[in-house]
Amino acid sequence: MPTDQRPETFHMRVVRQTDPKWLANARSGDKTAQMCVLAVARWMKEMVAGRSSCICCDAVFSGGDVPEAFLILISSNQDSEELNVRSAAVCSKCSTHEDQWLMAEGARRTGLARSAEQMQ
Ligand SMILES: [Zn+2]
């Protein structure tokens, strides 16, 4: 088991394509919304280069697909002001679940991914 206990705090947000508030908030200067919009833009850019799958199941997105929703993971380390923002796409099937479910499922699967990273 990982013993690394850095003082990191996580915030999760669910950004849906059908919800225009994110872009509107980002334009009006909301920092969290800006980070979410940036993270989504970065995901779309990276996706062109490789395969991506849904954070909540194993559905794979192919080039040109625009995910229905994104799970944004914002982590902040107490040692610095730096915010680390990661985004994960949610397929159309999983996006029918409510935000709470997506966040719980994403946290569970992200936790597994983090353990795997630390073993390398
Ligand atoms: Zn899915």
pLDDT tens by residue, 74-84:
887 767 677 78
Q: What is the pLDDT of residue 82?
A: 74
Residue 29 covered by a domain: yes
Task: Indicate the number of domains in the chain.
Answer: 1
Residue 1 covered by a domain: no
Find the mean pLDDT for residues 86-90. Answer: 92
The rounded Å distance from CA 43 to ligand 1 centre is 16
Asked if pLDDT for residue 90 goes beyond 80, the answer is yes
Asked if pLDDT for residue 4 goes beyond 80, the answer is no
The rounded Å distance from CA 44 to ligand 1 centre is 17
Residue 2 covered by a domain: no
Residue 3 covered by a domain: no
Of all helices (H) and strands (E), which one includes residue 89? strand 83-90
The rounded Å distance from CA 102 to ligand 1 centre is 9
Residue 74 covered by a domain: yes
The rounded Å distance from CA 67 to ligand 1 centre is 10
Rounded to an integer, what distance in angstroms lies between the CA atom of residue 66 and that of residue 57? 16
The rounded Å distance from CA 20 to ligand 1 centre is 22
Asked if pLDDT for residue 16 goes beyond 80, the answer is yes
Residue 15 covered by a domain: yes
Asked if pLDDT for residue 35 goes beyond 50, the answer is yes
Residue 85 covered by a domain: yes
Asked if pLDDT for residue 115 goes beyond 50, the answer is no
Q: What is the pTM of this model?
A: 0.78
Q: What is the pLDDT of residue 100?
A: 93
The rounded Å distance from CA 51 to ligand 1 centre is 14
Residues with CB under 5 A from ligand 1 (ion): 54, 56-57, 59, 91, 94
Q: What is the pLDDT of residue 57?
A: 94
Rounded to an integer, what distance in angstroms lies between the CA atom of residue 34 and that of residue 44? 15
Rounded to an integer, what distance in angstroms lies between the CA atom of residue 63 and that of residue 76? 31
Rounded to an integer, what distance in angstroms lies between the CA atom of residue 88 and that of residue 47? 11
